[in-house]
Amino acid sequence: MKPGLHDIVISPENAAIDSDARTFVSLVCQNPHVQAILSRMAHFGLQDWWLTAGCLAQTIWNIQAGYDLVAHIDDYDLFYFDPDTGFDAEDRVIKQVATLCADIPVRIETRNQARVPIWYEPKFGFAYGDVHRASDGIDRFAYQTTAIGLRQGKDGDFAIYAPFGLENVLAGHVVPNRALPVAAVYRQKTERWGKIWPHLTILPWRDDPV
Q: pLDDT by residue (tens digit) across 76-113?
A: 999 999 999 999 999 999 999 999 999 999 999 999 99
Q: How confident is the model at residue 160 (pLDDT cuts 50, 70, 90)?
A: very high
pLDDT above 60 (res 36): yes
What pLDDT, on the 0 to 100 scale, is given for residue 182?
95
Bridge partners of 176, per DSSP, are 143
What are residue 43's phi and psi, to 5 degrees?
Answer: -110, 10
Answer whether residue 209 shows pLDDT above 70. Answer: no
Between 10 and 3, whose confidence is greater?
Answer: 10
| pLDDT value of position 198 | 98
pTM exceeds 0.85: yes
pLDDT (0 to 100) of residue 19: 83
Domain regions of the chain by residue span: 5-172
pLDDT > 70: what percent of the chain?
90
β pairing state of 173-174 and 201-202? parallel
Residue 56: how many CB atoms within 10 A of its CB? Answer: 29
For residue range 102-146, list pLDDT tens digits in order: 999 999 999 999 999 999 999 999 999 999 999 999 999 999 999
Burial 84-118 (b: 16+ CB within 10 A, else e): eeeeeebeebbeebeebbeebebebbbbbbbbbee
> In the prediction, which pLDDT does 206 show?
79
